[in-house]
Amino acid sequence: MEDTLFNPGDRKVKEWRKNSSTDDTLTSLICIETFLEEIKEMNFAILREEEEAATEFPSILKLLIKKIKIAGNNPQI
């Protein structure tokens, strides 16, 4: 079962386990840590964009309703 590969991540782990060199292991761990940090940063950026969109949409909607009311066409909202 150990030789069966289910996904690319499994292959990376298998290759990592075969490393006999401390330098290779350290390099692998640093790459993993860097990759995890990049994922965290992307996640934070996405959350920030979602929060900005959530606060901007109601403001834009209010402005649109105000413009419609000024034009004399009251929406049924």
Task: Kindly tell me if the per-residue pLDDT of 74 is higher than 80.
Answer: no
- Give the Cβ contact number of residue 4 at 10 Å: 7
> What would the mean pLDDT of 40-61 be, rounded to a whole number?
85
Global pTM? 0.47
Interval 55-68: pLDDT, tens: 877 788 888 887 77
Distance CA 28, CA 12 (A): 9
SS3 state at 7: coil
| pLDDT at 48 > cutoff 50 | yes
Residue at token pair 């969109």: 53
Residues 6+ apart with CB under 8 A from 25: 16, 19
What does the pLDDT look like over 1-41, one tens digit per residue?
444 445 666 776 666 666 567 777 888 889 999 999 999 99
pLDDT for residue 19: 56
